[in-house]
A and B are shown apart, each in its own frame.
Chain A
Amino acid sequence: MSATGLKCPACGSDYLSGDDQCPNCGGDLADLDASASTPLGTYLQTHTLKEMRQSKLVVLDESDTLEKAVKMMAGASTGAAMVKAADGTWGIFSERDILTKIDPTTADLTQHKLAEFVTRDPVKLRPEDSVAIALNKMSIGGYRHIPLFDKSGPVGMISVRDILATLVDAMA
C-alpha cells in the first residue's frame, strides 16, 4: 500500500481515507475523527512513553534474594523490578508481591529467592508506544508498572504515577 499519511493510532500502519478498520491490526478507525475532538484523547494518542517521566529501572536476577530486591527497590524509590530468569526470559517483581506472598514481619528475606515471587512474561511496551496504549493496559489489567523493552531487553519502567505526573503538567 502506498503511503497515505494516515497512520493507525494503534499500530502505526498506513490506512486509506475512508477505511473503517485498520487493514493491518483491525483497529477501529471509524471514530478517529470523534476522538480527535477531545484534547486529552489527542494528547494520549500523540505522545509516546519515552516522552514521559520514567521510574528508575531496577534489574535483578531470579537467583537474587528478596533482601537484595527490597533494598534496591527502596533505594530507587520504585515499586517494581525486572527479573531475569536463567533461561533469559523476563519477569516482574512488585512490592505488592511482598504483601501477598509472604508474611514480611517473620520471613527471613535472605532465605527467599526472587524466583518464588516473580510474575513471568509481564505486559511489555516499547518506548515509542503511545501513552494511550499504556493507560489501556494499566486500566484494563490493573497494572501499576509497565516495563519498556526494545530488542536488547528492558530499557525503562513506567509507573502510573509517572503518567499522572506528565498529564498533570500537561493540564496545568
Chain B
Amino acid sequence: MGIPLIYTPLLQRPARQVMLADPPSLGPKAQVREALEKMHQCKSGCVITVEGGKPVGIFTERDVLRRLSRGELHPSAMLEEVMTPNPVALGLDTPIHEAMRVMNQRGIRHLILVDSEGGLAGVVLIRHITEALAESCPEAVLNLPPRIHQKMKQAEGA
C-alpha cells in the first residue's frame, strides 16, 4: 500500500482550483423551506449558513433524509435549528489530497473553504474529488472504451 502522491501532481493543486465559488448560502434565521428551494434551484446538495460572511453551519440533503425519516422536517423551522453547527472549514490553499483525507475522515461530501479572514469562499464537493482523481490518471480512468462489457466470442472481421 502507500500510493506515492508525487506522481499525481493534479492532487497537489490547491483546492481553490476545483471548488465551487459562491456556494448557496442563507442566514441562520432563514427557514427550512427557503433552504430546500435554494438547494433545488442551485441543484445543490447543501446550503451553508452564513453570519457576517462567515460559515456557521451547513444543512445537507442527508439532513433532509434523516429528518424526513423521523418526521422532523418542518418547513418553518429556522436553519439554525436544523443545521450542523461549526462545520469543518479549511483554507483556500489546502491541497486536494488533504481535502480528500479530511472529507473521508469526517464522512462529509461538502467541504467548506474559507479565506484568510475566515469568510466563506467556496465549497469542495465530492464530485470535484472524483473529477480530480479521474483527471490525474486519464489513461487509467478516462480513456476506456465506450462499452467495456462487450465481449465477442470471436474477433470481428476476416
Contacts and interface: CB of A to CB of B under 8 A. Distances in A.
Interface stretch (B83-91, B115-123, B141-149): B141-149
Contacts, number: 175
Nearest to A11: B148
A109 B104 CA distance: 32
A31 B97 contact: no
Q: How large is the interface on B (under 10, 10 to 19, 20 to 34, 35 or more residues)?
A: 35 or more
B39 A99 contact: yes
B129 A135 contact: no
A42 B134 CA distance: 13
A95 interface: yes
Instruction: Give 8 nearest A-B pairs by CB, closest first.
Output: A35-B139, A41-B137, A74-B69, A41-B140, A105-B75, A139-B134, A27-B145, A168-B104
Contact of A32 (B139, B147, B150): B139
Interface of B: 1-5, 7-8, 32-33, 36, 39-40, 43, 45, 61-62, 64-66, 68-70, 73-75, 97, 100-101, 103-105, 107, 109, 126-127, 129-131, 133-134, 136-137, 139-145, 147-152, 155
Contacts of A144: 109, 126-127
A34 interface: yes
Contacts of A41: 137, 139-141
Given A132-B141, A132-B144, A139-B131, A104 B101 contact: no
Q: How extensive is the interface on chain A, given as a class? A: 35 or more
Contacts of B62: 79, 95
Contacts of B145: 10-11, 22, 25-28
A31 B104 CA distance: 31
A31 B5 CA distance: 21
Contacts of A98: 61, 64-65, 68
19 contacts: A9-B140, A23-B155, A25-B147, A28-B143, A39-B4, A41-B137, A44-B140, A44-B141, A45-B140, A74-B66, A74-B68, A98-B65, A99-B45, A100-B40, A132-B140, A136-B141, A160-B127, A167-B3, A172-B2
